[in-house]
Chain A
């Protein structure tokens, strides 16, 4: 039993490793130089050219703080939905899911369902209210009636924690991936990503970020659709034929079409599910996207569009994964020294790209590689903007200078400077964490978002009794407990730190840390008898009016 258990935990850890490209990290050590891929570089340069032109155009349209932080609220639901999908579907997700299906079959599909089901929840619980109550950051909503400096600090810290964990993963992934696909050196590619991100965000603000994400979402869907059509053509567009061939070829045989053990432990998979579903509802860079649309109606439409794209992509990725089993795993061209069943060239995360090469040669490989690079740029830009606004809007303008609020232009100038600093820090972190196993940071980001960001945000919108103190202490409890538990978990304590036994048995903390946050919020709020608490409670009714009807909500600015 013990043996079985540790096996399962190891597989969960390796799953995360797949999800974050860190396999690529090990594969990209010196001794395996990749030739410069001119097709990929050419296509990527076209993308960079177009996005820089858009940034230049966006910069001219970015005049006020509202333009900078929320694109003036003038993005349509369709555009924003595509941008949201672009923000959510990172390179790690695309390559990781395909590799997971390639390695383990059905478990990869289950993983996708978990990452998808958060979207209906986002729509039902969050999207409209977030749009109606918010301004530039989700912290604005938490602090809407909870007039408390501590709440803003707590929420901004939770926001920054998620942003930085995610940013490290993306930067390391960018370095490894670009080195593998383009043959550009790790450090150069990290610097390149950092610089482009700084240019997009400081000059073009939210408008440029939106367009970068939108274009990338369209490209990734085009690429994946083309790949899946080409692959399915080999099976007469018959899914069952593909599945049957995959079962024949895969070492695990028919087992790949059923649950394979990643989700065998109910507590572990419940905790993972809570982290993915409610973590999504606490992701600062995703929530921030809802302020870019003019009203709640467009916010709803954003989710419908995003959910359609994301759901479609997950199904497509599953089919691509199965097709790779048949096509890639049987072709010596994609293995080191041509040994079928040995190590895949470039590591486990390269499966989707190998399939592209098998289907459309170097041109398609180059196209997909360029789209992956674009994807990383789009995600880091969203993260950088979310991080920079947490520092300048939430901490500086609303906490440090709360008695003498700076005007919008000062805020924007500061955000630009902070973005440059975040960009430099991200590059340094990317270089520092080179070759490290950063897989656990994805899990950390989702668990922190579900435990520290989501509970205060949710109760501030739904529970009259919430007070500033309650939200603050609950948020901190969720933050400290989720970070603590994930550090003591097998994925970090054993796999990263090399201890013999993990102190906390599960890789995901949300099942424990999220309820803890809610309990602390409840108890502290109940015990809070301060005048501020009284004001917060009595302000609830009017907050509900604005949340439900949009009366008094931020309108789109006119140009």
Chain B
């Protein structure tokens, strides 16, 4: 079977639809989490910077702003890790199974 035909088969396969929907759901939820938190920080900076200037705890020089900014860096990394982990454990298996079945 050539790859064109194989692709046609994949397209019709129920697993393929499953793969596409599941991946899309994960991608767009993670995108939303990442971008919403980043742009919330940017909005805080623009509209209520005084919140970010408050000390993170009583007497500390470190501010809430520093904690939030570092938290968003870490969140961005966690998003990356979650996607890689899910794709390795779920999506790759699904697509391997899919390609196996249409052969």
Contacts and interface: CB of A to CB of B under 8 A. Distances in A.
Interface of A: 106, 109-110, 112-114, 116-117, 119-121, 123-125, 128, 239-240, 243-244, 246-247, 254-255, 257-259, 263-266, 269-270, 273, 277, 297, 300-301, 303-304, 307-308, 311, 314-315, 541-542, 544-546, 548-552
Contacts of B43: 266
13 contacts: A109-B66, A123-B80, A125-B27, A244-B61, A257-B66, A258-B50, A259-B65, A273-B39, A300-B84, A541-B11, A548-B19, A549-B19, A550-B95
Given A124-B83, A300-B84, A307-B77, A117 B72 contact: yes
A312 to B, nearest CB: 9
A123 B6 CA distance: 27
A264 B7 contact: no
A307 B76 CA distance: 9
A264 B77 CA distance: 26
Contacts of B39: 270, 273
Contacts of A552: 3, 6-7
Contacts of A551: 3, 6-7, 10, 99
Nearest to B37: A117
A411 to B, nearest CB: 24
Contact of A545 (B11, B23, B42): B11
B20 A117 contact: no
A546 B39 CA distance: 33
- Chain B interface size, as a band, is 35 or more
B61 A120 contact: no
Interface in B71-91: 72-74, 76-77, 79-81, 83-84, 87-88
Given A113-B38, A297-B88, A548-B19, A311 B27 contact: no
A439 B89 CA distance: 44
Contact of B73 (A128, A255, A277, A311): A311
Name the 7 nearest CB pairs between A and B, nearest first.
A258-B53, A244-B61, A243-B61, A266-B46, A259-B49, A549-B95, A552-B3
A254 B55 CA distance: 10
B6 to A, nearest CB: 6
Nearest to B39: A273
Interface of B: 3-4, 6-8, 10-11, 16, 19-20, 23, 27, 30-31, 34-35, 38-39, 41-43, 45-47, 49-50, 52-53, 60-63, 65-66, 69-70, 72-74, 76-77, 79-81, 83-84, 87-88, 92, 95, 98-99
Contacts of A239: 62
Given A257-B63, A311-B73, A266 B52 contact: no
Contact of A269 (B4, B42, B50, B74): B42
A44 B53 CA distance: 42
Contacts of B74: 311
A373 to B, nearest CB: 28
A270 B42 contact: yes
Contact of A308 (B20, B49, B77, B99): B77
A531 B81 CA distance: 43
A270 B40 CA distance: 11
Contacts of B19: 548-549
Given A247-B61, A263-B42, A541-B11, 14 more contacts: A106-B52, A106-B63, A124-B31, A240-B62, A243-B62, A254-B61, A257-B61, A257-B63, A258-B52, A270-B39, A311-B77, A314-B73, A551-B3, A552-B6
B32 to A, nearest CB: 10
A281 to B, nearest CB: 12
Contacts of A315: 70, 73
Contacts of B31: 120-121, 124-125
A113 B69 contact: yes
B4 A542 contact: yes
Given A116-B73, A120-B79, A552-B7, A300 B27 contact: no
Q: Most chain-A Cβ atoms within 10 A of its Cβ — which of B11, B69, B95?
A: B69
Nearest to A549: B95
Nearest to A268: B46
A344 B101 CA distance: 67
A304 to B, nearest CB: 5
Given A117-B76, A120-B80, A541-B11, A300 B88 contact: yes
B52 A259 contact: yes
Given A120-B30, A240-B61, A548-B16, A311 B76 contact: yes
Contacts of B61: 240, 243-244, 246-247, 254, 257
Nearest to B87: A300
A315 B31 CA distance: 22
A266 B42 contact: yes
Contacts of A117: 34-35, 38, 72, 76
